[in-house]
Structure 1
Amino acid sequence: MRTILHHIGGQAVDGGARRQPVFDPNLGRPQAEVVLGDADTVERAVAAARQAQPAWAAMNPQRRARVMFEFKRLIEAEMDTLAERLASEHGKVVSDARGDIQRGLDVLEFVCGAPHLLKGEHTVGAGPGIDVYSMRQPLGICAGITPFNFPAMIPLWMLAPAIAVGNAFILKPSERDPSVPVRLAELLLEAGAPAGVLNVVQGDKLVVDALVDHPEIKAISFVGSSDIAQYVYGRGAAAGKRMQCMGGAKNHGVVMPDADLDQAVNDILGAAYGSAGERCMALPVVVPVGEATAAALRARLVDAIAGLRVGVSTDPEAHYGPVVSAAHKARVEGYIQLGVDEGAELVIDGRGFQLQGHEEGYFLGPTLFDRVTSDMRSYQEEIFGPVLQVVRAQSLEEAVGLASRHPYGNGVAIFTRDGEAARSFATDVEVGMVGINVPIPVPVSYHSFGGWKRSGFGDLNQYGMDGVRFYTRTKTVTQRWPRSGPAATDQSFVIPTMA
């Protein structure tokens, strides 16, 4: 059985006596084991980063960009192999795994422009003989803690901007699907980055706490559940670190009476059930406006769900595969039962689904609830599985209120042909990312990703210019060069001004 190790200082490191199995969700049995580190492992990674970072930061940004370009090329060359390994550990279908990698590559491509992104500002003649300019400088050593659901995309969202601007980076990936992050570190080394610029430490809470507490780690980016995001944010901020912590979600899709229902259903189906619903930007709640819209939407959803194919990760015809673990399958099934107990109408029950030849796999069929209400716990909490809930609204204002009052504020979408309705929706809804006839409104790599309320803790979002700002600090220089001749003898004891 394979053993997945740490990657520290450019080498595979078997640090720590603890082991944990890595399962194949399609079969429900272990396929590898991963070493779990501890505070000593983190200390070793920090030492490697400390040694590598100064020279990497001193390299001119154009040369660093060349390394990042080569890193991108190497990942693209291994796309199929990486996607297959990712799918085998996560459970998502291979085509979705390729998308996972590609969205990470988009951010990597953006930060290849580091020479331009790092340019500061310059003012000539801000005062008599005085010029002012600013520069962006790396923080030093940064870290990222990433979830199981995007084992390539989210690590690349973090490590690519951090490293491109001159930092060293320590990545703690999910212990459920740790192979691809290690391979990314190996490929960055092959691309020409010095050993120690990117280190991967496998682990659980022991490693998370050691990263958050280490005094030499200046910034931490986190993606995971909201409770853990809040914990990590609070602990890191109390230690004086720059923190960027993304939490859970309960995204709503509002369907207006004038929407193209066929297109809306097609979009909602992929957004709700793709990747078995294990996405923080999934669309698990649909809000039809008006009873006629609700009836028509429900009928189309029932017909469309009947055509969904649940299969193994390697099935090219499958729409989605298994969830990540037996525990997570049981958790989702528990939420389905909770919805029934709370009085929601269970239209389609995905429990009990089995795939022939893969009876021990972690498969769930698509589930559909109707007449869900906002006071139900199954609506308030994140299910993170292939479960779609219909919450009926009688007006656009009511629909906006549902999304705005929800404790999560990651993403929201509206389906409509009415430009005025779409504009007011985008302006008024209290959610961080909005889609207009776009079901999964993840911004492109040169904008930034981030939610509101319990979906995001911290002032700066992921990637885009916010990512560059997060991993750098601005230094502003005010300079005056004295003219030749006798030195001025006047003294001033007032605050200097440029008047």
Structure 2
Amino acid sequence: MRDIHHFIGGQTLAGASGRFGDVMDPNTGQVQARVQLATIDEVDRAVQSAQAAFEGWASTNPQRRARVMFEFKRVVEARMDELAHLLSSEHGKVIADSKGDLQRGLEVIEFACGIPHALKGEYTQGAGPGIDVYSMRQPLGVVAGITPFNFPGMIPMWMFGVAIAVGNTFVLKPSERDPSVPVRLAELMLEAGVPEGVLNVVHGDKVAVDALLTHPQVHAVSFVGSSDIAHYVYRLGAEHGKRVQAMGGAKNHGIVLPDADMDQVIRDLTGAAYGSAGERCMALPVVVPVGQKTADDLRERLVEEIPSLKVGVSTDADAHYGPVVTAAHKARVEGWIARGVEEGAELIVDGRGFSLQGHEQGFFIGPSLFDQVKPTMESYREEIFGPVLQIVRAESFEAALALPSQHQYGYGVAIFTRSGSAARDFAARVNVGMVGINVPIPVPVAYHTFGGWKRSAFGDINQHGMEGVRFWTKTKTVTARWPDSALEHADSSFVIPTMR
């Protein structure tokens, strides 16, 4: 059986813990590899490798670091098919979706190619008599990223792309469920010209996570995962003096006003709710039609549309989505469907018990649809993270606005309408971090920023864009005076300096 090793100092490193995690093929339900789980000493070895590489990389001028990013983009694009098939084989998403996963990561790499411009500081000439003031952005040192299973290509690149471009060195702890693509990305970064030790990958569980969060030479940590663990990561990292951004769970809503283009709404909803088997933090698992007529029409159209969705193996080019990532996750999603029924929601389409001929042991779940879901239900309040769409009816615009605004999660929300005034009012007032107007999955482009509110994010600085540059750097401000030796020196002053 294939073993997946750590990648430290530009070399493959076999772990010594004797502990392994199973890497499944979600299409067949069979174990395809083992991933080694790191010891505390192995995490330290990765950190020391990054520390040894830091001074040389940080002193490399930004333009040369940008050239590495350009080359990394090229080599990843050249291997897109290879990477997408590898990603799909471990995660289960269809090949086209895996390519989208990688492409969205590369868009942040494209942003990082412009890092010389993003690192420019500020300058004020003559801030006082003969005094100039300027600022500079400098890297933090060794930094780390802890990434989830659902985007094993995109989210690591979101993190290490900007962090490395600004001059840091990086230790990545990817999900142990689909760890091969992150290792390949580190190998390709080395091929692109980054020095050994700049990007390291250690696999592991809580032992590795805690080792990074408490290591004195790790200065910042970025995390994406569930909200409970995000809170834990934020708290433990902050207690150990680290800068932390920890992104958590989501329950994104799609508000459908009576004037919406229903044909477009149905197309957007099915893709956003069921794409990637619902395993996206920016999926759209809740739809809120406003008014009874809108709700009845929406329900009827969804019931007609859902049977046309094709669930298939990852390599099936005609499949809309593939299996979920593990048997345990399949059981969890099906448990939430059962819980919704227990709570009194109306299960219109039941995806449980779905079986794909020839792949009966795979982790497949058919699309499910609920109506008459109430805000008091636990199945509404919590994240299901599967191919399940819930209809929550609202009698008015204000009632629809209140649902995402009052929910514990606040990642994304979408509104479907032809009314510019309604959309503008909604975007201004809704208590959610990212808003789509007739856009079902409002993930911003790479040069803007990604982040949620409430229990969807812990920390004050978002990912990628200029927020990413700010997170991975520290600002130094210099106040300079070059006195003329020919002039008489000023007398000593015992009061605070001012610019009067």
For the aligned pair, the TM-score class normalised by the smaller chain equals over 0.9
Q: Give the AA of the match of 1:381.
A: E
Q: Does residue 1:58 correspond to 2:59, yes or no?
A: yes
Counterparts of 1:159-238 in structure 2 under 5 Å?
A: 159-238=160-239
Residue in 2 aligned with 1:22?
23
Aligned to 2:494, the other structure's residue is in SS state: coil
Distance in 1 of aligned mates of 2:223 and 2:373: 31
- 1:179-208: CA deviation from partner (whole Å, max 9, x where unpaired): 000000000111111100000000000000
Residue in 1 aligned with 2:154?
153
Distance in 1 of aligned mates of 2:498 and 2:376: 58
The number of residue pairs the alignment matches comes to 499
Distance in 2 of aligned mates of 1:489 and 1:364: 79
- 1:378-425: CA deviation from partner (whole Å, max 9, x where unpaired): 000000000000000011110110110000000000000001100000
- 1:117-147: CA deviation from partner (whole Å, max 9, x where unpaired): 1100000000110000000000000000000
Structure 1 residue 494, shift from structure 2 partner: 1.1
Distance in 2 of aligned mates of 1:483 and 1:373: 75
Counterparts of 1:240-255 in structure 2 under 5 Å?
A: 240-255=241-256
Residue in 2 aligned with 1:442?
443
Residue in 2 aligned with 1:116?
117
Residue in 2 aligned with 1:410?
411
Instruction: Give the 3 Å change call, closer, same or farther, for CA 417–489 of structure 1 in structure 2.
Output: closer
In structure 1, the gaps of 5 or more residues are none
Q: Give the AA of the match of 1:91.
A: G
Residue in 2 aligned with 1:481?
482
- 1:57-82: CA deviation from partner (whole Å, max 9, x where unpaired): 00111011111110110000000000
Q: Give the AA of the match of 1:147.
A: P
Aligned to 2:172, the other structure's residue is in SS state: strand
Structure 1 residue 487, shift from structure 2 partner: 3.8
Greater alpha carbon shift after TM alignment, 488-497 vs 26-35: 488-497
Q: Give the AA of the match of 1:202.
A: H
- 1:82-115: CA deviation from partner (whole Å, max 9, x where unpaired): 0000000000000000000000000000011111
Aligned to 2:235, the other structure's residue is in SS state: helix
Distance in 2 of aligned mates of 1:433 and 1:3: 40
Distance in 2 of aligned mates of 1:232 and 1:245: 7
Q: Give the AA of the match of 2:468.
A: G
Counterparts of 1:122-133 in structure 2 under 5 Å?
A: 122-133=123-134
Counterparts of 1:100-499 in structure 2 under 5 Å?
A: 100-499=101-500
Structure 1 residue 360, shift from structure 2 partner: 0.1
Residue in 2 aligned with 1:91?
92
Structure 1 residue 240, shift from structure 2 partner: 1.0
**Identical counterparts, % of pairs:** 70
What RMSD over aligned residues (CA atoms) do the two structures have, in Å? 0.6
Distance in 2 of aligned mates of 1:38 and 1:133: 44
Distance in 1 of aligned mates of 2:234 and 2:450: 17
Structure 1 residue 489, shift from structure 2 partner: 4.3
Residue in 2 aligned with 1:4?
4
Distance in 1 of aligned mates of 2:142 and 2:27: 38
Aligned to 1:434, the other structure's residue is in SS state: strand
Aligned to 2:89, the other structure's residue is in SS state: helix
Distance in 2 of aligned mates of 1:159 and 1:301: 40
Structure 1 residue 486, shift from structure 2 partner: 4.5
Distance in 2 of aligned mates of 1:449 and 1:163: 18
- 1:196-221: CA deviation from partner (whole Å, max 9, x where unpaired): 00000000000000000001000000
- 1:140-196: CA deviation from partner (whole Å, max 9, x where unpaired): 000000000000000000000000000000000000000000000000111111100
Q: Give the AA of the match of 2:408.
A: P
Distance in 1 of aligned mates of 2:229 and 2:447: 28
Distance in 1 of aligned mates of 2:379 and 2:84: 33
- 1:412-463: CA deviation from partner (whole Å, max 9, x where unpaired): 0000000110000000100000000000000000000000000000010000
Structure 1 residue 485, shift from structure 2 partner: 1.5
Aligned to 1:196, the other structure's residue is in SS state: coil
Q: Give the AA of the match of 1:242.
A: R
Q: Give the AA of the match of 1:87.
A: S
Q: Give the AA of the match of 1:421.
A: A
Q: Give the AA of the match of 2:294.
A: T
Structure 1 residue 226, shift from structure 2 partner: 0.2
Distance in 2 of aligned mates of 1:425 and 1:38: 49
Aligned to 1:459, the other structure's residue is in SS state: coil
Q: Give the AA of the match of 1:117.
A: A
Structure 1 residue 484, shift from structure 2 partner: 2.5
TM-score if structure 1 supplies the norm length? 1.00
TM-score if structure 2 supplies the norm length? 0.99
Distance in 2 of aligned mates of 1:288 and 1:19: 47
- 1:328-380: CA deviation from partner (whole Å, max 9, x where unpaired): 00000000000000000000000000000000000000000000000000000
Greater alpha carbon shift after TM alignment, 139-148 vs 489-498: 489-498
- 1:218-243: CA deviation from partner (whole Å, max 9, x where unpaired): 00000000000000000101111000
Distance in 1 of aligned mates of 2:334 and 2:488: 81
Distance in 1 of aligned mates of 2:93 and 2:487: 75
Aligned to 1:347, the other structure's residue is in SS state: strand
Aligned to 2:413, the other structure's residue is in SS state: strand
Aligned to 2:72, the other structure's residue is in SS state: helix
Distance in 1 of aligned mates of 2:415 and 2:484: 63
Distance in 1 of aligned mates of 2:21 and 2:108: 31
Distance in 1 of aligned mates of 2:222 and 2:395: 40
